[in-house]
A and B are shown apart, each in its own frame.
Chain A
Amino acid sequence: MTPEIALTNGGRLPLAAIPVLPFPEFASGVIDLIRHSATPIAYFADQPAPEAPPELFAVLTAATPGTFTVLRSRLAPGFTSLTTRAPQLHLFEREIAEQYGIAASDHPWLKPVRFHSVWHGTTDAWGRDPGRHPQPGVMDFFRVEGAEIHEVGVGPVHAGIIEPGHFRFQCFGEKVLHLEISLGYQHRGIERLLLGGPWPQTPSQIETMAGDTTVGHMTAYSLVLEGLTGTVAPPRAQALRAVALELERLANHVGDIGALAGDVGFLPTASYCGRLRGDYLNMTAAICGSRFGRGLVRPGGVLFDLEPARQARLLQTLADIVPNTRGALSLFFEAPSVLGRLEGVGKVLTDDALGLGLVGVAARACGLDCDTRRAFPVAPYTTENVPAITEASGDVFARARVRQREIEHALAFVRQALENLPAGPIATPLTALPADTLALGLVEGWRGRLAHIALTDAQGRFRRYKVIDPSFFNWSGLAMALRDEQISDFPLCNKSFNLSYCGFDL
């Protein structure tokens, strides 16, 4: 059994405390933990210095509730793929191959993730010319053969105002046998830009990894920096962050229900939710000037306070839009014609959700009680003040219903938090970042778990900064949901996940 290295959410570990295991021991440690129902949070490589050999890090949930284990090894060519034993890791291994040019052997579907050149060295895992930028979407797609099988390719540019991505369906008539999703079109190279950071540009880049999750990602980043420096944001700042995080959830969940309503042709809810989503965004703008919460959260605390009058105005706005929100949602969920379109469509089995490591709304809709706010709470969240919201059916309906219930909870939470804002300062100054330390920050964004991990070098700069947006895991869930569905139900299934392209592409 591997010695347990315990880490908490927002905590840190000196890198020297993490033993470098021989790869076989590392691999069996990771697989053992996953067999004993640990959740893999991250699996990534890091090259401490240009000449130094690259290393592997795996962060998983540990047996002691609320804690994590970190395993470390060396990354050497021909390291064995763990994907067949732990499919949750499939994309991580593809990512390592793409970033470091070192391919895991026996990976069942080792393909590029984001289509960029290797970070270090000149060996491309797919033998492409390292001097030229790879072509996005050029990879071996899974193909179903057969006289009556046809293929449908969509994107990167889609109909509508939406981010780019390429989808390839293997169809038998209307029926989708397999969907493969190839992304990377939004790749801005964020993780690489963060190397050697934090830079003056870093906060803006963190806030725009996935612009609809500005508060979530910036809070995760703040937890990491606070963890590194041993700082705790003051209670008032923590409460304001939570208000903003829940407003982000409200805006997006309400918008998503509206989008689902639009897709099934139920126009009243589509129209009302479109406007209500804006009202929640405007509440965030009333706090910090930006509808997306830009500039609100910063390491150490928040930049904007609420004076009593503003606090009262926000509570009033909330009281005004709660009935409209409930009305728009109940209209939707009470219409038999709507339910008929949602139920049984785009089903993901619980086992598949577990196997693929799905997170957030998509996982909870498959009956998995996984919510960072409950499992790894950072104040003001506690295991008690966030209920377990799960649905069993794993279909479009379940994903919609989870959102509706989370909207109800968030409404109550925001009101409660605004009514009981702790007094005191809104920020604690940060000290310089320590050398050779690892820190972890997890946040339950509106789509699901956001994980940020920083490793500092001898100068206290980021030698690696790893980001895992919930969409990293969940795109595979969408592909599963389409199996044996009608291709015409793709838009509906897609909206029920509403995943981020840029959060995945980074």
Chain B
Amino acid sequence: MLRILYERFQQGYRTSPFPKQEPTLPDRFRGLPRLHPERCAAGCRECAQGCPFGAIREQHGALALDLGRCLFCADCHACPHGALEFSTDYRLAVRRREELTITADRGPVLAAPLDAPLKELFGRSFKLRQVSAGGCNACEADVNVLGTLVFDLGRFGIQFVASPRHADGILVTGPVTENMREALLATYAAVPEPKVVIATGACAINGGPFSNAPEVHNGVGALLPVDLFIPGCPPHPYTILDGLLRLLGRREVAD
């Protein structure tokens, strides 16, 4: 017993002060990309070809990047002229698919809270069933980590539950393989109304590294209505937590 108490003392207090205090992310962390069209050579559209996942394209004459397709690659080949750089901003979650498209002067439209009745219902107690549908287990791992004492998800009233019947929604990872389609739909159907769907990671949003592969469905949006999109491959745990808290209206919109 004494040994256990001694060890407890040694291990210290480890729960992060988030969201009261902003987290410090590693300097090499690749978060929200920033576009610098002023660095583009005239008429150059190399980036449109350069990204193997089609994350960059021209939209109304301006450079646009789809955070739902972006894998935040370290060796981003998209732009050889430095017009695309990653910042360490981890806040990326949005409510609608099209809000993931960013330009030089428009960032992602960070997620607004659920509408009044749902926010009332789920704001203080939000139970989710996680469904891994072809994920590589990194998204799953960084969702799981929210349950550790560092993030202590429980203090926000959010909990992952075993049964879909006890859940208020599902959090999906993976591109939705054909082999998981039915199980995913059955799990969704088993969640009582009203319910939400959260697409976590590039796979669940648009197929990620496997987009357009014959065995996958390019994300959960092809099969179910999605209420929250959390980009990244995988998203940082703080990106996921930030998204969940925004959905529940527990972060200021300006934060």
A residues apposed to B, CB below 8 Å: 114-116, 133, 136, 156-157, 159-164, 184-189, 192-193, 199-201, 203-205, 207-212, 214, 268, 271-272, 274-275, 277-278, 282, 285-292, 294-296, 298, 303-304, 323-324, 327-328, 331, 334, 500-502
Contact = CB atoms under 8 A, between A and B. Distances in A.
Sort A-B residue pairs by CB-CB distance and give the 8 closest, nearest first: A295-B74, A211-B138, A211-B136, A159-B162, A200-B52, A289-B28, A274-B148, A189-B215
B183 A156 contact: yes
A294 B30 CA distance: 11
B138 A133 contact: no
A157 B26 contact: no
B73 A212 contact: no
Contacts of B214: 189, 192
A274 B138 contact: no
A286 B28 CA distance: 7
Contacts of A292: 138, 141, 234
Interface stretch (B56-64, B108-116, B125-133): B125-133
A187 B177 contact: yes
Given A200-B52, A291-B142, A296-B74, A186 B177 contact: yes
B20 interface: no
A286 B133 CA distance: 29
B174 interface: yes
Contact of A212 (B8, B52, B137): B137
Interface of B: 3-4, 7-8, 10-11, 14, 25-26, 28-30, 52-53, 71-75, 77, 86, 130-145, 147-150, 160, 162-163, 174-175, 177-180, 183, 186-187, 208-210, 213-216, 233-234, 236
Contacts of A304: 28, 74
Contacts of A205: 209-210
A274 B10 CA distance: 16
B149 A274 contact: yes
Contacts of A189: 210, 213-216
A162 B140 contact: yes
Contacts of A199: 52
Contacts of B216: 188-189
Given A164-B132, A188-B213, A211 B137 contact: yes
A501 B130 CA distance: 16
A367 to B, nearest CB: 29
A306 to B, nearest CB: 11
B145 A274 contact: yes
Contact of B136 (A193, A209, A291): A209
A212 B139 CA distance: 10
B255 to A, nearest CB: 23
